[in-house]
């Protein structure tokens, strides 16, 4: 992305600022620890960049819930299909994961983030070969395979206003073996709706995602009609 203007009207290079932020290997937590109280320009969007983005206006109570203890498996499958095709995410209950295990996971994340910066920098990497790394959500690939039947939502969360209690989120990713797989992933159609995207390997898809970062959506690069951008939908947790 070329140089743009900040809120104060001063020209600046957003990509360079993003790279500088990435090079710190400290993340947003590093900004907080450094005493930053104002949102840096790299995290702000101009009104023009938000054109065409619609909001799902879903509050926490409206997020679909999928009960894995449903008497009939097909009922749970139907709930997942409906949530994936409308909201784009859902909450799972009665999943069988012990509460103490989840509590231990959250405590481990807290200890890591509150630890010394040097310890975190040692394992911060975007190298796909590293066993421990910070990864990016590639939910767009499921939207491509479903031919827009499932929605990959660009969602955000509300910041915790408490200065004493941090909001903790833990992401788990189920990925294909991108190091070896040469499989092509393409739209699954029902014979009535033509494919919207071309086929792509997971490695190519992730490489494109990492290359463009936040400057656009990976999906747009694989649309057969490149003149029609993928509508962005934003939801809130």
Domain boundaries, the chain: 53-124+138-236
Residues 123/171, Cβ–Cβ less than 8 Å: no
153 vs 56: CA distance, rounded Å: 9
Predicted confidence band at 55 (pLDDT cuts at 50, 70, 90)? low
pLDDT (tens digit per residue) in 90-134: 888 898 889 899 899 888 888 888 888 787 777 776 665 665 555
pLDDT at 198 over 90: yes
The mean per-residue pLDDT over the stretch 59-87 comes to 83
pLDDT at 56 over 70: no
User: 222 or 47: whose pLDDT is higher?
Assistant: 222
Of 144, 155, 170, residue with least CA distance to 88: 155
Predicted confidence band at 199 (pLDDT cuts at 50, 70, 90)? very high
115 vs 92: CA distance, rounded Å: 31
The mean per-residue pLDDT over the stretch 33-40 comes to 83
What pLDDT is recorded for position 60? 46
What pLDDT is recorded for position 227? 57
104 vs 98: CA distance, rounded Å: 10
Of 182, 172, 175, 184, residue with least CA distance to 128: 175
163 vs 91: CA distance, rounded Å: 27
The answer to pTM > 0.75 is no
Give the mean pLDDT of the chain.
76
190 vs 195: CA distance, rounded Å: 10
pLDDT at 193 over 50: yes
């Amino acid at each position: 992305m070329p140089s743009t203007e900040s809120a104060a009207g001063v020209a600046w290079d957003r990509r360079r600022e993003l790279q500088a932020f990435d090079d710190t290997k400290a993340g947003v937590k590093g900004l907080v620890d450094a005493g930053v109280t104002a949102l840096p320009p790299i995290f702000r969007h101009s009104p023009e960049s938000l054109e065409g983005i619609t909001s799902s206006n879903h509050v926490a109570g409206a997020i679909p819930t999928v009960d894995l203890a449903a008497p009939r498996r097909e009922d749970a499958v139907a709930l997942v299909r409906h949530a994936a095709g409308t909201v784009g995410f859902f909450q799972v209950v009665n999943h069988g994961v012990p509460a103490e295990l989840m509590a231990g996971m959250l405590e481990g994340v807290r200890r890591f983030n509150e630890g010394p910066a040097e310890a975190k920098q040692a394992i911060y990497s975007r190298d796909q070969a590293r066993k421990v790394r910070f990864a990016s959500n590639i939910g767009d690939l499921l939207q491509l395979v479903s031919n827009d039947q499932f929605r990959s939502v660009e969602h955000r969360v509300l910041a915790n206003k408490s200065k004493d209690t941090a909001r903790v989120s833990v992401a788990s990713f189920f990925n294909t073996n991108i190091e070896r797989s040469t499989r092509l992933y393409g739209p699954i159609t029902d014979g009535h709706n033509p494919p919207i995207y071309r086929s792509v390997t997971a490695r190519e898809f992730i490489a494109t995602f990492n290359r463009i970062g936040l400057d656009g959506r990976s999906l747009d690069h694989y649309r057969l009609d490149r003149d029609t951008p993928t509508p962005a939908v934003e939801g809130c947790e």
